Amino acid sequence: MTFAQLLDQVGGMGRFQVLNVLLLCFPMVLMAAHNLLQNFTAAVPGHRCRTGINSTCGGSNVTEGADCRDPLRAFIPTDGNHLLQKCRRFVTTQWHFLEPNSTELERTEAELEPCLDGWTYDGQVFTSTIVTEWDLVCDFRTLQQMAQSIYMAGVLVGAVAFGGLSDKFGRKALLIWSCLQMAVSGSCAAFAPSFTAYCIFRFLSGMALSGIGLNCVSLSVEWTPMHSRATISMVTGYSYSVGQFILAGIAYAIRDWRWLQLAVSFPYFAFFLYGWWFTESARWYATAGKLDQALKELQKVARINGQKEQGQKLSLEVLKASLQKEAPSAKSNFTAADLVRSPVVRRVTCCLCFVWFSTSFAYYGLAMDLQNFGVSVYLIQVIFGAVDIPAKLIAFVVICYFGRRITQALTLILAGLSIAGNIFVPQDMQILRTVFAVFGKGCLAASFNCVFLYTGELYPTVIRQTGMGFGNTMARVGGIVAPLVRMTGEYSPSLPLLIYGAAPIISGIAACFLPETLNMPLPDTIEDVENQNLEQQKGDEGCKGTPSHQDDIFLDMRMFKDPRPLENTGKGDGAAADPAKSS
């Protein structure tokens, strides 16, 4: 009996699985709010130098015919579009510039200085942001991007740390801790007395976010039967999309950045409290050698699913016989080096590096640049969230009927082409440029949805969290690099789009070299991954027209549906048969 068959015995996709996924979705909803929070808390409102004196039109040097409709032009120079400059002012008040006979030459020769008395901000859209709080404009404008990069660095560190720790200490414990850390650090960021303290707390929030995402996905996937994994992946993916709508609504209602920061952080205290109800992964208990705990969790799930009698039939002897292949892995210490130790896993890790990096790199290159679309930042946030709904639904259909590999490759290549397509669209065609960007963002959201499921299915249980953590690490590297690439626009406006578009196309090609996992059972050991790859190669040869291999495929399908032939032939987990035992 395989673990998949044990899940079917205790109820399959029953009441427990539905409730488990539902409760796991709530922490994931607000993950989007934290990832995209600085679109609002670090928004840059309109600003100009503070003059420090009464800027009403007057004075002994003002003639009767002076244009007093905009007296600030006597204090602050204008740019090429006749708008007030944001970072400089006149050293002395130039009242004569308000007169109709003043020349452009006089304006250019006037002596200028930085905003020594600070800035005045337009508070119509954003009442308060970290930019207005600590004057992160002009010579200090890079600090705004630094805050986001520091947060992404925290997500990266969390992916490395929590990925390995959850493989060692379990999914539930790390999820509970991550929710508490998010609640505390996020709430402290709302009361940060300085920019430095704010960055420290945001770094800790980023770490916690990785722990929440990794363990929510693992707990949902590892308790889900094979035929329902794609559905669960779509549901958890939509929870992130819903979070984007919620963020837009909360940000529209709460214009002060401190209260907005608190509003998206405080609910994690509730998630921390009900997190103690979660059931630890029986798969993890088995790989950790804790079969007695695995038995208790399986029996608990059976009771919740109304299969108490089936659960009582399970015993330690049954588990030991069914999961005997877990025993060697329980006695071994697995590290990140195991991600590249065997040929198939090494190929998987290499290809997933490209996929994770480029998906996040292009995604945050688009999603963190909402103010440059020329429309309301709240509206574009809603549009970016809305496009996820059809994109992920289409991706779900393709995942279920055509497989993970083609979905992953297709979404990345289409995203890259749509982003790069804006190179050829004139700047004044804002609607068309926005359409291309929104389509690309939808493809990247579908790619994220697929890669979370795909990575969980490609890596075996013994290193699944380590692999997920490594993939998330590459994603966060992409998130850190994305804002830096936008600076290349100073050399050529098309260069950022070219880089953002090329990365997904290259990684889409790399995804074509990944093994397919459609209708394949979750591997538990590294040997399972290697054996599944051999089975796929056999299947590919059979599809080319070799009758004996085709017969083997249909035989394996019949044996997967009926556990009795599996026991007689000595095969392992479903289609992932062990050739040594079958011979």
Do both 223 and 271 map to the same domain?
A: yes
Do both 18 and 94 map to the same domain?
A: no
Give the CATH number for residue 217: 1.20.1250.20
Given this model, what pLDDT does residue 417 score?
Answer: 93
Do both 23 and 151 map to the same domain?
A: yes
Average pLDDT, integer, range 554-575: 36
Q: What angle do CA 195, 132, 374 make, to 5 degrees?
A: 120
User: Cβ of 239: how many Cβ atoms within 10 Å?
Assistant: 21
Comparing CA positions, the residue from 184, 183, 202, 188 lying closest to residue 143 is 202
- Whether 81 has a pLDDT exceeding 50, the answer reads yes
Q: pTM (2 decimals)?
A: 0.70
Q: Which residues contact 549 (CB under 8 A, 6 or more apart)?
A: 538, 539, 541, 542
Asked which of 23-32, 42-51, 164-173, 545-554 is least confident by mean pLDDT, the reply is: 545-554
| Mean pLDDT of the chain, nearest integer | 76
Residues 247-265: tens digit of each pLDDT: 888 988 998 899 999 999 9
Do both 307 and 350 map to the same domain?
A: no
Domain count, the chain: 4
Strands 88-90 and 47-49: unpaired
Which of the 8 DSSP states describes residue 112? E
Residue 128 lies in a domain: no
Q: Residue 78 sits in which domain range? A: 55-121
Residue 127 lies in a domain: no
* Predicted confidence band of residue 564 (pLDDT cuts 50, 70, 90): very low
Most confident residue range from 201-205, 209-213, 232-236, 340-344: 201-205
Q: Give the end of a domain, one of 310, 332, 354.
A: 332
Do both 449 and 476 map to the same domain?
A: yes
Do both 279 and 356 map to the same domain?
A: no
Could you give the CA distance from residue 186 to residue 202 in angstroms, rounded to a whole number? Answer: 7
Q: Give the end of a domain, one of 477, 492, 524.
A: 524
Residues of the chain with pLDDT > 90, as a percent, come to 14
Residue 126 lies in a domain: no
User: Cβ of 221: how many Cβ atoms within 10 Å?
Assistant: 24
Do both 431 and 457 map to the same domain?
A: yes
Average pLDDT, integer, range 130-134: 88
Do both 389 and 357 map to the same domain?
A: yes
Given this model, what pLDDT does residue 579 score?
Answer: 34
Do both 453 and 540 map to the same domain?
A: no
- Whether 151 has a pLDDT exceeding 60, the answer reads yes
Given this model, what pLDDT does residue 203 score?
Answer: 94
Number of alpha carbons in the 13 Å side-chain half-sphere of residue 531 = 22
Q: Give the end of a domain, one of 489, 508, 524.
A: 524
| Higher local confidence (pLDDT), 270 or 60 | 270
Residue 26 lies in a domain: yes
| Higher local confidence (pLDDT), 8 or 527 | 527
Residue 129 lies in a domain: no
Whether the CB-CB separation of 320 and 291 falls below 8 Å is answered with yes
Average pLDDT, integer, range 236-246: 83
* R_g of the chain computed on alpha carbons: 28
Could you give the CA distance from residue 438 to residue 385 in angstroms, rounded to a whole number? Answer: 9
Tell me the H-state helices in 459-562. 464-486, 495-511, 526-543, 547-561
Q: Secondary structure of 234-260 in the HEC alphabet? A: HHHHHHHHHHHHHHHHHHHHCCEHHHH
Given this model, what pLDDT does residue 576 score?
Answer: 34
Do both 42 and 60 map to the same domain?
A: no
- Whether 503 has a pLDDT exceeding 70, the answer reads yes
Do both 326 and 361 map to the same domain?
A: no
